[in-house]
């Protein structure tokens, strides 16, 4: 049982969802889905209704990310985790290099290490709360970067590695970054993500912004005689995406909420506008942590602190588990740290859908709870 601390309603945020994925879904998007449901849910994904939503998502993302000439928006089922299998099957030719600095970035490295048709990957690690830098090397044909390491709250710039050979590809896991952090997509060949983080939708899909070089690689590797399961074949995903379809049945709800969120971002002013909302939330959260006597930002270097997922250490006099339990009992959910990090920490999503004022309300609630726990 959490201690019976009732946070005064005047302190509470307007919405208590601060989880890093699945994350807050805007109630307006749910209402729009409910209104559209009779003509949309329960209809064929091979027909105009659903295909127009997929077409809209592809166009909307092209415009949100100002896609360079020749880049394509490709999508399929399976989430970002499935895209690692797709990349190991269709994008890595012989050898990849991975920056490993938390749970998610290390998982893709493990996928590549387990693939019997690939050479052992090169893995450059750094301690949780920091990020390593890629090293351009002969023989590496794909560099795996992570724009935002969701488990630790570290963000890194997306820049092609210096000294990389001209044929190599850059694949960026942008699952929790895409839509909330600024990016120059021309610095990547595959900028991939899932819709349950900044895109405030539900899980189950992967989306990738692919360069002509990535598409060419998928075609060459796919035609090389390597066995690729059909659900992981990037060529199949590309062919279907060009028709505004997916190879097999997608979750129509996920597509609808994603389309609605892209529209919301574009109507607000685009990627820069969406990122500015996260900037404002981050400025508040880290500013609060710097000034609170019992809290401090986990990530030491200010320019590596993520503006979409903040991690705040609490000192030993405050039990973060207890704080999270009290918050949860008051309707503020999913502020727990990433379990495997095992830190006395709060983790706070600051995706664009989350109101910056709600992040301010959250820290006031934490202050209120901590004062009463001690």
Ligand X SMILES: *Cc1c(COP(=O)(O)O)cnc(C)c1O
Site residues for ligand X per CB under 6 A: 21, 79-81, 104, 146, 150, 173, 175-176, 194, 203
The minimum distance between CB 103 and ligand X, in angstroms, equals: 8
The minimum distance between CB 20 and ligand X, in angstroms, equals: 7
Residue number with CB closer to ligand X (110 or 296): 110
The minimum distance between CB 104 and ligand X, in angstroms, equals: 4
Closest CA to 176 of 154, 198, 156: 198
205: which strand partners? 77
Residue number with CB closer to ligand X (176 or 236): 176
DSSP symbols for 89-104: HHT-SS-EEEEE-SHH
Strands (E), the chain: 72-77, 96-100, 122-125, 142-146, 148-149, 154-155, 169-173, 190-193, 205-210, 295-297, 309-314, 345-349
Q: What kind and span of H or E run contains 183?
A: none
Assigned token pair, 199: 């895109």
* Alpha helices by DSSP H, 92-158: 103-114
The minimum distance between CB 347 and ligand X, in angstroms, equals: 12
Residue number with CB closer to ligand X (161 or 180): 180
Whole-number Å distance between alpha carbons of 336 and 346: 5
Residue number with CB closer to ligand X (129 or 366): 129
The minimum distance between CB 74 and ligand X, in angstroms, equals: 15
The minimum distance between CB 285 and ligand X, in angstroms, equals: 18
Residue 278, CA distances (Å) to 297, 348, 351, 356 in order = 16, 11, 6, 7
Residue number with CB closer to ligand X (21 or 352): 21
The minimum distance between CB 309 and ligand X, in angstroms, equals: 8
Residue number with CB closer to ligand X (194 or 218): 194
Question: What is the number of the residue whose Cβ is closest to ligand X?
Answer: 79
Whole-number Å distance between alpha carbons of 350 and 341: 19
Residue number with CB closer to ligand X (198 or 323): 198
Phi-psi region of 334 (alpha: psi -120 to 50; beta: other; left: phi over 0): left
Whole-number Å distance between alpha carbons of 335 and 16: 10
């Amino acid at each position: 049982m959490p201690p019976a601390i009732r946070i005064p309603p005047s302190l509470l945020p307007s919405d208590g969802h601060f989880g890093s994925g699945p994350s807050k879904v805007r109630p307006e998007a749910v209402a729009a889905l409910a209104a559209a449901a009779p003509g949309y849910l329960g209809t064929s994904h091979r027909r105009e209704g659903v295909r127009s939503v997929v077409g809209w998502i592809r166009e909307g993302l092209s415009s949100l990310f100002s896609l360079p000439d020749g880049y394509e928006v490709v999508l399929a089922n399976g989430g970002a985790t499935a895209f690692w299998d797709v990349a190991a099957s269709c994008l890595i030719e012989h050898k990849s290099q991975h920056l490993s600095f938390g749970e998610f970035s290390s998982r893709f490295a493990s996928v590549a290490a387990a693939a019997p048709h690939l050479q052992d990957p090169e893995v450059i690690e750094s301690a949780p709360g920091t990020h390593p830098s890629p090293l351009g090397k002969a023989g590496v044909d794909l560099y795996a970067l992570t724009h935002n390491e969701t488990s630790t709250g570290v963000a890194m710039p997306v820049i092609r590695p210096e000294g990389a050979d001209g044929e190599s590809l850059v694949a960026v896991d942008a699952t929790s970054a895409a839509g909330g952090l600024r990016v120059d997509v021309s610095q990547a060949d595959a900028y991939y993500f899932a819709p349950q983080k900044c895109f405030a939708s539900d899980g189950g899909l992967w989306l990738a912004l692919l360069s002509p070089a990535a598409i060419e690689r998928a075609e060459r590797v796919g035609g090389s005689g390597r066995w690729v399961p059909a659900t992981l074949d990037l060529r199949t995903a590309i062919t279907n995406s060009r028709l505004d379809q997916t190879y097999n049945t997608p979750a129509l709800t996920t597509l609808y909420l994603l389309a609605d969120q892209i529209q919301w971002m574009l109507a607000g002013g685009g990627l820069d506008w969406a990122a500015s909302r996260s900037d404002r939330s981050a400025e508040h959260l880290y500013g609060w942590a710097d000034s609170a006597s019992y809290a401090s930002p986990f990530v030491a270097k200010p320019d590596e602190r993520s503006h979409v997922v903040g991690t705040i250490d609490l000192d030993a006099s405050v039990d973060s588990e207890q704080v999270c339990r009290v918050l949860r009992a008051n309707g503020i959910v999913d502020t727990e740290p990433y379990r495997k990090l095992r830190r006395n920490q709060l983790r706070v999503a600051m995706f664009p859908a989350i109101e910056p004022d709600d992040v301010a309300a959250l820290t006031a609630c934490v202050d209120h709870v901590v004062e009463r726990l001690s």
